[in-house]
Structure 1
C-alpha cells in the first residue's frame, strides 16, 4: 500500500513539481499519514480519504479518517525494539508544518511543504 501511495503522489507531481527536490519527502509523509490512518484511525469497514492540493506556493497533503483520537509525536524516543512510533516524527521533521484538524466523524491529519520560487516559471527545492 505504501508503495502505491508513493507512486500516486509521484503522478500528482506533474503539477510542474516533478523535479522539486522535496517530492520524496512529500511521498514519505503521505505514506506515513496513510499508514497511521489505516492502523489507528479507520474503524473496521471504513476507509480514508487522501487529498493533495497545490496552490502555486504550497503543497498540502491531508488524510481524512473517521476514527477517534488525536495523533501526536511521542514524548519519549522509540527504542530499537519498537516497530512503530516513528511516523509522526518523520512527518514533523520532513514537512514545514503539520497538524490535526476536526472532522465529523474523525479527524484530518495534514502536512504542508512550501514550494519556493526563484523567478518567473522557475521552481527549485528548498
Structure 2
C-alpha cells in the first residue's frame, strides 16, 4: 500500500513518557513500512533525540520519514539553541552529555537545520 510509506508525524509533551511513546510509534511504523531491521538503532536514536527535546519543557514534534530502505528521524522544537556534542564519557557521574555521541555513532548522518523559528534535529538511520 503506497499510503503506508507516507511520513508520519506526532506531537509529544515534554515528560518522562515522551521517549517510550516515540519508540512505540516508531516500532509500529517500521513494521508497517517493512523496515524492522532498523528498529534497534532507530529506537535508540529516536529515544536520544526525543529526550533532548523533552528537556526543553515545551511540546515538540517527531517526524518519521521512510526513504530508500532507510529512516529519517526529525525532532522539531522551538528552542533557538542548537544541540552540542559534549564528551561526558570521562565523567562517570554525569547524568547527560552522551546522547548526541550515541546518535552520531548509530546514525548514517545527523545534523540541525532551521525551519523558520523552529529547529529540526535530524538523524538518518540506514541498514
TM-score class normalised by the smaller sequence = 0.7 to 0.9
- Larger proportion of helix: 2
Count of residues paired in the alignment: 109
1:38–1:78 Cα change, 3 Å: farther
CA offset at residue 78 of structure 1?
4.4
Moved over 4 A (4+): none
Larger-gyration structure (1/2): 1
Asked if 1:10 is matched to 2:27, the reply is yes
TM-score (norm. length: structure 1): 0.78
TM-score (norm. length: structure 2): 0.78
| 1:96 maps to which of 74, 95, 108 | 108
RMSD: 1.6
Which SS does the other structure have where 1:81 is aligned? Answer: coil
Map 1:33-112; keep pairs closer than 5 Å: 33-40=49-56, 42=57, 46-75=58-87, 77-112=89-124
- The separation in 2 between residues aligned to 1:89 and 1:112, in whole angstroms, is 14
Which SS does the other structure have where 2:122 is aligned? Answer: strand
Which SS does the other structure have where 1:108 is aligned? Answer: strand
